[in-house]
Structure 1
Amino acid sequence: MRRVFFVNRFYAPDHSATAQILSDLAVALVQRGHEVHIIASQGLYDDPAAKLPLEETLDGVIVHRVPVPAYDRNNLGKRAFGYLFVYRQLASALRKLIGAGDIVVAKTDPPLLSVVVERAIRGKGAVLINWLQDVYPEVAAHLGVPFVKGPVSNILARFRDRSLERAYKNVVLGVRMADVVRQRGVHSNKIAIIHNWTDDQEILPVPHSSNRLRNEWGLENKFVVGYSGNLGRAHEFDTLLEAARQLHDREDIVFLFIGSGHHFARLKALVDEFRIAKQFQFRPYQARKDLKNSLGVADVHWLSLRPELEGLIVPSKFYGIAAAGRPTIAVTVADGEIGRLVEEHECGVQVNPGDGAALAQTIKRLADDPSKVDEMGRRARSLIDTTYSRKRAVDQWDELLRSA
């Protein structure tokens, strides 16, 4: 069987989203007989100065790491320099390690990694598969990243498109993302939809009566609206904030935030400024082994995506929420990937971004109808079991790699 090389900036023991899902897949593929290699950096997402071993084997996965300098992610100039160094190191490692017949899977961390990988393996007789967690440079342009707009964005997009066209397959996360890639001129036979996943064997529905965190965090007899994970630039929270202000007289409703992110500090500051802090709780990331409890604390979760980013990013928080048997309030456009999904399968509610009044009414309606919430939660878990399980995604990856 051919060797499979995955290229990504981070890998286990890193806990970033891209590292976790890659770790899940790599270990599962080894268990199915594949020889899997990882090419990643020595650093950790939360500790760029970390020096993980350059070579090691984890759960049967052969990990090759390259040294990279620590840099300030909040400084765009230094981040750009750091990316360039990462690109060079990853490309150099690729050229040394791969040979004819190998399969190379390029993720999208750092952005535009497919361009670097395609050039590095050119002439090596290797097969390229791109795994798009997001679509750059369009995401950066929409988020207003300096220098990544106008002519520069167009040039970068052309290089990116070329790397997609030269790949054997481009794995995308949903129908909207497939449409975006197709509109860039990539033929349908080079696109495969494989949804992200969560650990649905570990994350299971936990009744409130059995969830120790409900008691520890003082949430008994409360209707909890949860958010778990990164609150980043792609997400908006103004809709939620306005809904919370309109629900200030509902002492039974609590907004629980678990995680961090670019907007996290700003949200906390506005909660204090609007004098609604008693409605909110902020908690740090919880251990992965305890996700079933931290996700199960809430009665319902919300997620958001800025409308202009539909098709460029898919909020993968949905899969963990659904695995925990909880409904999702999708603050997204109605025809967005997750907004459409929750309405079609009746496992949540879609609310338009900016419509705080509609969100407040939705939360109030759900808080007053626990049987409705329970039924939505059961449908959400059923959807994971039948359509979005980790096993199903691994089956699809296994089939794709064997077909290559």
Structure 2
Amino acid sequence: MSLIIINQYYAPFHAATGQLIQELAEYLVSKGKRVTVITGKNGEYDLKDEEIINEVQVIRIKNRKDGIKRIKKFLSYATFYFRLKKRLKKIVEDGSIVLAMSTPPYIARIPLTLKKKRNVKLIYNVQDLYPEILLALGKMKENNIIYRFLHKIAEMIVKGADRVIPIDESMKEILENNYKPLKNRITVIENWALKELGPNGFQKKSSKKLTILYSGNMGRAHEYETLLKAIKGSEKSEMDFIISGGGYNYNQLKREVEDFPNVIFQDFVSKEKLPDLINKADICLVIGNKNLSGIVVPSKFYGYIACQKPVIYINSGEDIISKHINNGNLGYKINNGDSKKLIDMLRKLARNKDEIRKIQKNVAIYSEKLNRNNSLERYYDLICKMEESI
């Protein structure tokens, strides 16, 4: 019996979902499962159409390159979406299990059409909630005809899936309220830190200045103004900021403070180089949005904790990350817009690094609760149970 995983990104791309799916696929193969990943070329047309990577069969669909502009994103999504259906029909077997991610949005609708014809079981993994994210960001109104159409598609997927896997309890609540009844078909499985990330062998480089790191995507869903004002109001002799990644708001931030002597901007780094990057920091930033709690969950948090780094979470809302920080005393939480509190906190930490070392001990203990194998094993158990029911 085969397992097919669908996600627009996979190795060699640095997208967080692609890296997580690679770890999941390789873990399942190590447990004896036969796994095929269908992914996109995303404009890199020299990539092989098919290859085996660490015993995982990888099939790539020719789709357009993604980008910051909406039209580029749409064309990248659309070309992947429309070419997926033809390819999936060719390789899906009777009784297959398909795990479809929510990236790109609504891609799970394709395997849903094969459920009855091929007796396919569908697992829908929800990383971001669409179209709720459009509503929360003010891009659409609830009575908008396009929003209602997109909501109908989302409802079709959620109700048609055999299992729905959100990554946050708050996300589960929204799904149950908006698309009930889900009964016993919904299970929360958190994301995890990549296996390359951990405390072993990585020692903090000595520096008198406080080093603050933001690593990863900084898109429209990441409120950046609080950080922007904090950088502008910071003491340049006391702290350095490293901003590594990309995205729409990354470019907005870079445009404003690129010339500041205590701010370093750099592109995404590979997962092999990520531990060294995180190790340069005294404390790491996670940015959310008060309107997106339960709709988007920043997965970079798990990598920071695995490397035993204290975090500052900029988010007025409450979600699973807020709970972890509070339960484990893993760092600080700042409301969106409260740049003064962020500046005061960074100044205090710059002048008293012993406070960071105290929190780091809490992080080291708590990181065991977020062990990557806990989540991976839960996926394995879920898939085994679904195989038994076919």
Give TM-score, length-normalised by structure 1.
0.89
The 3-state SS of whatever aligns with 1:19 is helix
Cα distance in 1 for residues equivalent to 2:332 and 2:160: 40
Q: Relative to structure 1, is the Cα distance of residues 253 and 178 closer, same or farther in structure 2, using a 3 angstrom cutoff?
A: same
1:88 and 2:88 are equivalent in the alignment: no
Residues 3-402 of structure 1 correspond to what in structure 2 (within 5 A)?
3-41=2-40, 43-44=41-42, 48-68=43-63, 70-71=64-65, 73-77=67-71, 79-145=73-139, 150-184=144-178, 185-200=180-195, 202-204=197-199, 206-209=202-205, 220-248=207-235, 251-271=237-257, 277-385=260-368, 387-402=369-384
Maintained 8 Å contact 2:114/2:120: no
Note if contact 2:223-2:288 (Cα within 8 Å) is conserved in structure 1: yes
Q: Percent identity?
A: 25
- Give the match for residue 217 of structure 1: none
The DSSP-based 3-state class of the residue aligned with 1:112 is coil
Are 2:197 and 2:307, in contact at CA under 8 Å, matched by a contact in 1? no
The residue type paired with residue 329 of structure 1 is I
Residue 264 of structure 1, CA deviation: 2.0
Shift of 1:315: 0.6
Distance 2:300 2:218 in 1: 11
Are residues 200 and 380 of structure 1, via their aligned partners in 2, closer, same or farther at CA, if it must alter by over 3 Å? farther
Matched residue type, 1:199: L
Q: How many residues align?
A: 384
The Cα of 1:355 is off from its aligned counterpart by 0.6
Partners of 2:181 and 2:263 in 1: CA distance: 45
After superposition, the Cα gap between the structure-2 partners of 1:90 and 1:239, relative to the gap in structure 1 and judged at 3 Å, is: same
Residue by residue, what CA displacement relative to the aligned partner does 1:28-69 show, whole Å, maximum 9, x if unpaired?
A: 10000001111122x14xxx142322222111111222223x
Deviation at 1:74, TM superposition (A): 4.2
Contact kept in structure 2, 1:200 and 1:384, CA below 8 Å: no
User: Tell me, what secondary structure is at the counterpart of 1:139?
Assistant: helix
Asked if the contact 1:140–1:148 (Cα under 8 Å) also holds between the matched residues in 2, the reply is no
User: How far is 1:296 from its partner?
Assistant: 1.1
- What's the CA shift string for 1:249-299, capped at 9, x where partnerless? x51211111222212222122125xx7x12312223233212221001110
- Evaluate the alpha carbon distance shift between residue 28 and residue 233 of structure 1 in structure 2; reply closer, same or farther with a 3 A threshold: same
**2 CA distance for matches of 1:313 and 1:156?**
18
Superposition deviation, residue 186 in structure 1: 4.2
Whichever residue aligns with residue 167 of structure 1, its letter is A
Q: CA deviation at 1:351?
A: 0.6
Q: What is the Cα deviation at residue 347 of structure 1?
A: 0.5
The amino acid of 1:238's aligned partner reads: E
Tell me, yes or no, if the aligned pair for 2:2 and 2:35 is still in contact at 8 Å.
Answer: yes
1:318-359 deviation line (CA, Å, top 9, x unaligned)? 011111111110001252332232122100111100011111
SS at match of 1:40: strand
CA contact (8 A) 2:289 2:317 kept: no
Equivalent-residue separation in structure 2 for 1:165 and 1:371 (angstroms): 51
The answer to whether the 8 Å contact 1:222/1:252 transfers is: yes
Query: How far did 1:75 drift?
Result: 4.4
Task: Using the TM superposition, give the Cα deviation of residue 188 of structure 1 relative to its aligned residue in structure 2, in angstroms.
Answer: 4.3
Cα distance in 2 for partners of 1:352, 1:317 equals: 19
Can you list the C-alpha shifts for 1:172-225, whole angstroms capped at 9, x where unaligned?
11111111111121424111111111124543263224xxxx6xxxxx211111
**In the alignment, is the contact (CA less than 8 A) between 1:322 and 1:377 conserved in 2?**
no
Specify every segment of 5 or more residues in structure 1 that has no aligned partner in the other structure, as ranges. Answer: 215-219
1:142-199 alpha-carbon deviations (Å, 9 max, x no partner): 3355799822112211221121112111111111111111112142411111111112
TM-score norm. by structure 2 comes to 0.92
Confirm or deny: 8 A CA contact 2:106 2:157 kept in the other structure.
Answer: no
Equivalents in 2 of 1:266, 1:156: separation in Å?
29
Paired AA for residue 13 in structure 1: P
C-alpha contact (below 8 Å) 1:130/1:164 kept by paired residues:
yes
Amino acid at match of 2:158: L
Q: Compared with structure 1, are the counterparts of its residues 289 and 72 closer, same or farther at alpha carbon in structure 2 (3 Å cutoff)?
A: closer
